[in-house]
Amino acid sequence: MIKTISYPEESQWTMLVQRPAVKQSDLFEVAENIFKDIQLDGDKAVSKYSQKFDGIHYNFSPLGLNILEEAENKLTDSLKESIKKAHQNIYKFHAAQAESINKIETTPGITCWRESRAIEKIGIYIPGGSAPLFSTVLMLGIPALIAGCKEIILCTPPDKNGEINPLILFAAHLVGITKVYAVGGIQAIAAMSLGTESILKVDKIFGPGNQYVTAAKQIAQLYGTAIDMPAGPSEVLIIADKTCEPEFVAADLLSQAEHGPDSQVILLSDSSNVIENVNSALGKQFEELSRKELTKKALQNSKAILFESIDECIDFSNQYAPEHLVLTIRNAEDKIGRIQNAGSVFLGNYSCESVGDYASGTNHTLPTNGFARSYSGVSLDSFVKKITFQSVSSEGLKNIGTAVEVMAEAEQLLAHKNAVTIRLNKMNKS
Amino acid sequence: MIKTISYPEESQWTMLVQRPAVKQSDLFEVAENIFKDIQLDGDKAVSKYSQKFDGIHYNFSPLGLNILEEAENKLTDSLKESIKKAHQNIYKFHAAQAESINKIETTPGITCWRESRAIEKIGIYIPGGSAPLFSTVLMLGIPALIAGCKEIILCTPPDKNGEINPLILFAAHLVGITKVYAVGGIQAIAAMSLGTESILKVDKIFGPGNQYVTAAKQIAQLYGTAIDMPAGPSEVLIIADKTCEPEFVAADLLSQAEHGPDSQVILLSDSSNVIENVNSALGKQFEELSRKELTKKALQNSKAILFESIDECIDFSNQYAPEHLVLTIRNAEDKIGRIQNAGSVFLGNYSCESVGDYASGTNHTLPTNGFARSYSGVSLDSFVKKITFQSVSSEGLKNIGTAVEVMAEAEQLLAHKNAVTIRLNKMNKS
C-alpha cells in the first residue's frame, strides 16, 4: 500500500523529510481586497461576501443564547456524555499548565518576576462543511476560558439554511462561549481582525480552515492580529518495532490519511517484517473504509522507511519534525530524551492518535509541515502573555547603577545614562 | 515640552491610544527579490548585496575565534565588568524560567505532560550603525544558551573597513556564541532563513533592525522561518502621582525619546501639578542632551494626560498596552493586579527603564505598538517549544475508548474511530 525505502543514506534524509509540495496560495490578493472592503463598510461588506461565497444571509448579530441552549436537545445522551468526558480531561490538563509566580532577586535590592495575563479578546474559527469539528471548539475554548479571556467569540459558517450544526453549538455552550456568529471564510477572519458593528475586533485568532481561511489569517497578521500558528496539512510519523501490533499501526496510519489527500503518513521501523505486516494489514483495513478516494491519495504521498535501529528512526523523525509522533516500541518512555522535534507524542500500543485528537486531555491544535521545529502546539500559554515586573530599591540601584551608566554610554544613549545618574546624585545628596 | 490633555472622555481613548502612523513598508518587493536571489545563488548573492548596500566584501565564512577572543583587549575594565554584571543578572532571571515536568493523570490510565526542547538552530541579528547594541547580544544570546540551542549564529553588519565593534564581539564571546558573520540587512536575514554555503538555515530569527530588516523578517516568516515578534517603534508610558520625583520622571521620558523620532512617550497622572513639574524638568534636562533633534521629534508625538484617579490611568494604560510601563506612585505593588497589558513593568522611584534595558535581569526585547495585548517579551520560552506526551494504558483506553469512538463517528472520521475499535476488540478477545 505504501512504498518502502530501505536504509537510506543520511544525505538522502533532507529529500525524504520534504512534505508533498502544497501549492502556494494565490488567494492573498482576494483576501486583502475583502479586508479592505470590510474595513471600509463593516457588516455591510460581511453580509455581501456571506451572500456571495456561501449563499447565506448574515444576521448582523450573534446567535440567540436560546439557540445555544437548545442544541443539546438534538444530541444523543451518549454523544453528550462523551463530549463532557473529553471536556473534563482537556480542562484538567490545561488547568495544570497555569504558572505560579517566581520572584527572583537578581542582585540585592532588585527583584524580577513574570505574571501571566489573559489575552483579552479571542476569536475562534471553526470550519463548516460536512464534518462538524466540535472537538476543536473544546480544544480552543477550554484553555481560553481557563486563561480568563474576557471576550471569546466564535465564527463558523452555517449551512445553506443558515443553521449551525448542534454539535458545535453544544460544545460552545458547554465550554462557556456565549457569542457565536453564523459567518465563515475570509469575511469571518477579516471581521474578527478589523472589528465591525456586530463583531468585536479581537487580539488573536485561533482555528483551522481551508486555503481561504489560511490566507485570511496571514493577512490578519499584517493588520496586527496575532494568530495561533502557521497552517499545513496534518501528518503522523509512527516508529514501530517487533513489539508493535501491525493492525494497530495500520489503523493509526489510516486514521491520519483520512484527513485529506494532502495528509502524510510515515512509518519507520528497524524490521522489514514489521513494515510488511503493517502494509498487509493496511490493505485489508483500507477496503472497509468510507473515505477511500482521499485516503488513497494521502497514502500515495506516504512512505515506510527501514532503518538500522530505533535510535536512527528517532534521529530521522527529529529531522522530519512530525505533528504527531507515535512510538510503538519496547520501553517507549526510555526514548523520550532523544525526541527533539514533534508536536505531540503517543507512547505505546494503546496510545493511539485519535485518543489525543479527542479526549486524552492534550491539545490537538499542533504544528505541522515541520513547524514543530520551532512552534509548540496550542496550550494555556497561547491564551496569555507573560508580563515582566521589576522592583528596584535605592540599594538595588546603588548596586547596579554604575554598570548601567557605563553600558548606556558605550551604546551612546546618554539620556539612558542620565536617568540613572540623576537618581544616584539625589541619593548621594540626601 | 509635551502637550497636555485633561480629563478625556472614554470615547476619546481609542483615538488617544493610537500610535503615530508608521509608513507601511514598501520594501516587501525589494526583500522578496533578494530572498529569491539568495535561494538561487547562495553566498554569491549574499556577497553581491553586501557590496551593493554596505560597500563591503562578504568573507564567505564566520569570523575567526581569535577575533572574538581578542575583542576584550579593546575594552576598558569597567566596561567588561559592567557587561559581566548584566550577564549575571540576565542569566539568573532567565535560568529561573525553566519549567519542571508536571505529569497529569487526566483519567485513570491516561497520563499527559509537556516537556520543553530547545529550538535547535537560532539566528540572532544585531544592527550596526554608530551605537553598537551589545546589550541585545546578551538579551538574545543568554536565554538561547540556557535553553540549549545547538546552533546559534549571529549576523551583524561590519563598518566600512569590514570590522565589527569589539563590544558586540566581546558580548557574543562572553555569552558563548562562536559563529559571528559580518553581514547585515535583508541579505543577512535571507541567508539565515534560507541557508547558504557559509550560513546555516535556522529555525527562528531574533533581533531588532531597521525597516529593511523588519520587512525581511516578515518575508522569512512566509518562507517558514519563525521570528521573535512583530516590530515597532519603542515606547514608554509612565503613571506618576504626587509621590513621584518629577526630575526622575522627566529623565525616564527623555531616555525613551532618544531612541528615535518615531518613539513615543506618554505621561499619565491624577495631578496637574505633577504634569507641570515634569514638563518643566523636561525642558531643563532637554537642553543638556546630545541627541536633541530626534528626541525633539519623539516628544512631538508624545502627550501628558490628566485623569481623575490612578485607577483610571491604569485603565487607559491597559488600553494603550505599552512596551514599557513605569509606575511611580504610592504603593505601586498594590496596583499590579489591575495591569492587563504591558511588556515590562517598572515599580517605584528607583526602577528606571534603563536599568531594565541593560542589567536588572529582565529581557529588553519587548512587544511594542500595542502588541503587548497579545504577545509576551522574549524569555526562555522563546527559545524552546513544548512537546506534549501521552501514555495510555489498556485500562486508560477502556476508560475513554467509547467516548472517542462516539465523537469520531459524529465528526464522520471513521478511521479515527476504527483505531480505537480495533484495540478494544483485541482486548476483549484476550
Q: Give the Å distances, CA to CA, from B73 to B70, B170, B171.
A: 6, 9, 13
The model's confidence at residue A294, banded by pLDDT at 50, 70 and 90, is confident
Supply the pLDDT for residue B7.
96
* DSSP letters spanning A319-363: HH--SEEEEESTTGGGGGGG--S-SEEEESTT--HHHHHHTSSS-
Residue B403's contacts (CB-CB under 8 Å, 6 or more residues apart) are A81, A82, A83, A85, A86, A358, A359
Q: Which residue has the cell 478494544?
A: B424
Cβ pair B84, B174 in contact under 8 A? yes
- Is residue B143 within 8 Å of B228, Cβ to Cβ? no
On whether any CB of chain A is under 8 Å from the CB of B342, the answer is yes
pLDDT in tens, B71-88: 999 999 999 999 999 999
Percent of chain B residues past pLDDT 70, beyond the cut: 99
Predicted model pTM: 0.96
Alpha-carbon gap: B116 to the closest alpha carbon of chain A (Å):
9
- pLDDT above 90 (res B129): no
Instruction: Summarize pLDDT for A221-273 with one digit per residue, the tens.
Output: 989 999 999 988 899 999 999 999 999 999 999 999 888 888 889 999 999 99
B167-179: pLDDT as tens digits:
999 999 999 999 9
Residues B325/B345, Cβ–Cβ less than 8 Å:
yes
pLDDT at B21 over 80: no
CA distance B70 to B166: 8
pLDDT tens digits along A299-326: 888 899 999 999 999 999 999 999 999 9
Interface of B with A in 237-296 (CB under 8 A): 245, 247-248, 251-252, 254-255, 257-259, 285, 288-291, 295
Q: Best residue in B79, B112, B336 to probe A by mutation, most A CBs within 10 Å? A: B112
List CB contacts (< 8 A) between A353 and chain B.
416, 419
Question: In angstroms, rounded to a whole number, what is the distance separating the alpha carbons of residues A168 and B248?
Answer: 55
DSSP string, A142-179: HHHHHHT-SEEEEEE---TTS---HHHHHHHHHHT--E
The CATH code of domain B232-376 reads: 3.40.50.1980
A255-259, B146-150, B260-264: which has the minimum mean pLDDT?
B260-264
Out of A203, A411, A415, whose CB is closest to B373?
A203
Chain A to chain B Cβ contacts (< 8 Å) = 424
Q: DSSP letter for A54, please.
A: I
Average pLDDT, chain A: 94
Contact between chains at B89 and A83 (C-beta distance less than 8 A): no
pLDDT for position A25:
64
Instruction: Give yes or no for a contact between A228 and A203, defined as CB atoms under 8 angstroms apart.
Output: no
A417 band by pLDDT with thresholds 50, 70 and 90: very high
In tens, the pLDDT along A91-150 reads: 999 999 999 999 999 999 999 999 999 999 999 999 987 778 999 999 999 999 999 999
- Give the pLDDT band (50/70/90) at residue B296: confident
Shortest CB distance from B130 goes to which of A345, A412, A414?
Answer: A412
CATH dotted code for B27-103+118-227: 3.40.50.1980
Q: Are strands A104-107 and A110-118 parallel, antiparallel or unpaired?
A: antiparallel
Q: Is B358 on the interface with A (CB under 8 A)?
A: yes
Indicate if the pLDDT at residue A23 is higher than 70: no
CB contact under 8 A, B230 and A248: no
> Who wins on pLDDT, A138 or A2?
A138
Chain B residue numbers touching A117 (CB-CB < 8 A): 339-341
Q: In this predicted model, what pLDDT tens digit does every residue of B216-249 receive, in sequence order?
A: 999 999 899 999 999 888 999 999 999 999 999 9
Partners of B364 on chain A (C-beta within 8 Å) are none
Contact list in A for residue B230 (CB cut-off 8 A) is 221, 224
Q: Give the start-to-end residue ranges of the domains of chain A.
A: 27-103+118-227, 232-376, 394-429
Judged by CB atoms closer than 8 Å, whether chains meet at A93 and B104 is answered as yes
Q: Quickly list DSSP for A254-309.
A: HHHHTT-TT-EEEEEES-HHHHHHHHHHHHHHHHT-SSHHHHHHHHHT-EEEE-S-
Q: Do A361 and B414 touch (CB under 8 A)?
A: no
Chain B CB contacts of A137 under 8 Å are none
Assign A175 a pLDDT band (cuts: 50, 70, 90): very high
**From A218, A346, A371, residue closest to B390, measured CB to CB:** A346
- Give B23's pLDDT tier (boundaries 50, 70, 90): low
Domain B27-103+118-227 matches domain B232-376 at the CATH topology level: yes
Q: Is B331 on the interface with A (CB under 8 A)?
A: no
B138, B374, B386: best mutation site toward chain A, by most A Cβ within 10 Å?
B374
Residues of A in contact with B130 (CB under 8 A): 412
From A118, which residue of chain B is nearest by alpha-carbon distance? B340
pLDDT tens digit sequence for A318-351 = 999 999 999 999 999 999 999 999 999 999 999 9
Q: Looking at beta carbons, which residues of chain B come within 8 Å of A93?
A: 104, 106, 112
Residue B221 CB-density burial (10 A; 0-12 exposed, 13-18 middle, 19+ buried)? middle
Considering only CB atoms, A400 lies closest to which of B85, B255, B422, namely B85
Nearest residue in A to B323, CA atom: A387
- Answer whether residue B89 shows pLDDT above 80: yes
Phi-psi region of B242 (alpha: psi -120 to 50; beta: other; left: phi over 0): alpha
- CB-nearest to A423 from B89, B352, B422 is B352
Nearest to B114 by CA among A141, A386, A354, A94: A94
